[in-house]
Amino acid sequence: MYLLCDIKKNKMRLKPSYLSNILVTAFCASTVFGQDTIQDTNKEPSLNDKFKIASSYLAKNDLAKAKVLFNSLLRDTCKEDSVSIASIYYNLGIIATKEENYNDALKYYYQVCNLRKGSRIAEYSEMAINSINKRLTKAKVKYTKTLALNDNPLELTIPITLSKDGLPQLNILVNNIATKAVFDSGASDFIISKPMAYKFGIDLNKSKPDIEITGSGSKKNNNAFSNKVDFQCDLIHWTEFPVLITNENFPLIPVLGSNCLNNYDYFLDKENLKLHLTLKNNKNKLKTDTIPVFDKFSLDSKCKYQFAVPFFFDKSNLIVVTAKINDVDCPMTLDTGASTSLFTYETIKKYNLKLALLNDKDVHWGVNGNCQSQTCNINTFKLGPMVLHNLKASVTNQSNAKRPLLGSDVFYNWIINVDKQNMVITFKQD
């Protein structure tokens, strides 16, 4: 574990006009870590010694040497050592800030916040993120390079966090403003609320709703605005990216629909809090275990159970799988943004699903607002070889969804690997 300077002794006051000096005093490595050379030349420097040397270069403002050494440490450090990795990212963020490479600086500071949530170093990183965003907004300058589709990364791993309901959330930038968003495979588009639109600098005063949103929360379609924004998620960057702005105050945070990562296969790993992305048709795709035969369990290389099911895309480019509910075939939309599976009374009747309705009431949220719902009991739920008994789900009459939603409660203990090229979803034991 690398030594960190005493942040309490080196208190920092942020001054937006001196952004180039942001957070440097938090890591005054030259006085804390000693000399920038190792006396015993016959001995291979330890990782801690290398960190001291890199920090001393940063203190001397020799950014080129410091960057090389910190990137070398990033490659050599055990990935499970979150404290050390966060320290490296933090210093890389300082370097990128001093170089006015604000795109990379934001990326590094976000990594620190994900690795050391609630810590002092994460607090300073959040302060740096806010200062950079204010600087960019005030200057109205986009420092990010516009990337064409083919310039986006072939492979990428993005850190995620889980909400209280177990929904995956990502850090994103919208018009260079930082926020969190729910990764929602059950939504077709990128959706935000009107309050969020104003936060991102979108002027709706001269606009009129020009599109309708279909979703739960209301049986009627919701009038919405369409607009375009600068969208970034880690190394993925789209300019002039379409966004839908709902009249309702929900979603409380942005919803990342399927069009945001439309060109990527994804591997949702809730156990390690990561979302792995590989560009479709990429010949160098991340190697995975052999896809098992449908309707049978198999063991992966770590002796954990896995199974696969086929899927298809509907007209809205949503992923649809077929489950058996009380021995009746039922198509369901895979919805990583739903905490529980959701039915409407119409779909229950349409697919002849004999579900036991319980005498309770709850509130369900959707892109069209909130609505009353009640709980139903599914005696037997089957997806591929997986069988669940007495599964609870929500039922509402305030949704015009064409089919039931398969929520994260069903696959909470499974890692999801969506292969859009072979049209197969592999579920791996968490």
Q: What is the CATH number of the domain that holds 225?
A: 2.40.70.10
Instruction: Tell whether 257 and 296 lie within a shared domain.
Output: no
Give the separation between CA 110 and CA 159, rounded to whole angstroms: 9
Instruction: Tell whether 369 and 407 lie within a shared domain.
Output: yes
Instruction: Tell whether 95 and 157 lie within a shared domain.
Output: no
CB-CB contact of 346 with 399 (8 Å): no
Whether cis (ω within 30° of 0) applies to the bond prior to 385 is no
Instruction: Tell whether 321 and 370 lie within a shared domain.
Output: yes
CB-CB contact of 381 with 388 (8 Å): yes
Q: What is the pLDDT of residue 325?
A: 92
Nearest of 238, 76, 72 to residue 153 by alpha carbon: 238
Q: Do the bridges between strand 328-334 and strand 319-325 make them parallel or antiparallel, or are there none, so unpaired? A: antiparallel
Instruction: Tell whether 254 and 235 lie within a shared domain.
Output: yes
Q: What is the pLDDT of residue 94?
A: 92
Instruction: Tell whether 237 and 354 lie within a shared domain.
Output: no
Residue 1 lies in a domain: no
**328-366 pLDDT, tens per residue?**
999 999 888 787 888 988 888 889 988 888 877 766 655
For residue 219, the enclosing domain spans 149-265
Instruction: Tell whether 412 and 294 lie within a shared domain.
Output: yes
Instruction: Tell whether 155 and 243 lie within a shared domain.
Output: yes
Instruction: Tell whether 130 and 177 lie within a shared domain.
Output: no
Q: What is the pLDDT of residue 381?
A: 92
Residue 384 is encoded by which pair of tokens?
């591929």
Residue 8 lies in a domain: no
**Backbone φ/ψ region at 165: left (φ over 0), alpha (ψ -120 to 50), beta:** alpha
Tell which of 87, 108, 139 closes a domain.
139
Residue 365 lies in a domain: yes
Within 10 angstroms of residue 107's Cβ, the number of other Cβ atoms is 19
Residue 109 lies in a domain: yes
Query: Distances from the Cα of 52 to the Cαs of 32, 42, 66, 105, in angstroms?
Result: 8, 18, 10, 21
Q: What is the pLDDT of residue 90?
A: 93
Nearest of 249, 410, 230 to residue 335 by alpha carbon: 410
Give the separation between CA 309 and CA 328, rounded to whole angstroms: 17
Residue 419 is encoded by which pair of tokens?
């292969």
Give the separation between CA 79 and CA 205, rounded to whole angstroms: 48
In single-letter form, the type of residue at position 169 comes to Q
Low-confidence stretches of the chain (pLDDT < 70) are 1-43, 136-153, 212-221, 247-251, 262, 280-294, 362-371
Q: What is the pLDDT of residue 143?
A: 36
Tell which of 110, 139, 168 closes a domain.
139
How far out from the chain centre does Cα 242 lie? 18
Those residues with Cβ within 8 angstroms of residue 81's Cβ, 6 or more apart along the chain or in another chain: 1
pTM: 0.57
Beta bridge partners of 93: none
Residue 11 lies in a domain: no
CATH of the domain at 41: 1.25.40.10
Instruction: Tell whether 154 and 126 lie within a shared domain.
Output: no
DSSP 8-state symbol, 76? H
Nearest of 224, 285, 276 to residue 422 by alpha carbon: 285
Q: How many domains does the chain have?
A: 3
Give the separation between CA 341 and CA 430, rounded to whole angstroms: 20
Residue 31 lies in a domain: yes
Residue 120 lies in a domain: yes
Give the separation between CA 354 and CA 356, rounded to whole angstroms: 7
Instruction: Tell whether 357 and 301 lie within a shared domain.
Output: yes
CB-CB contact of 207 with 227 (8 Å): yes
Q: What is the pLDDT of residue 238?
A: 81
Longest alpha-carbon distance in the chain: 79
Q: What is the pLDDT of residue 136?
A: 67
Instruction: Tell whether 423 and 292 lie within a shared domain.
Output: yes
Residue 329 lies in a domain: yes
**278-329 pLDDT, tens per residue?**
876 655 554 455 555 667 888 777 777 888 889 888 887 788 999 999 999 9
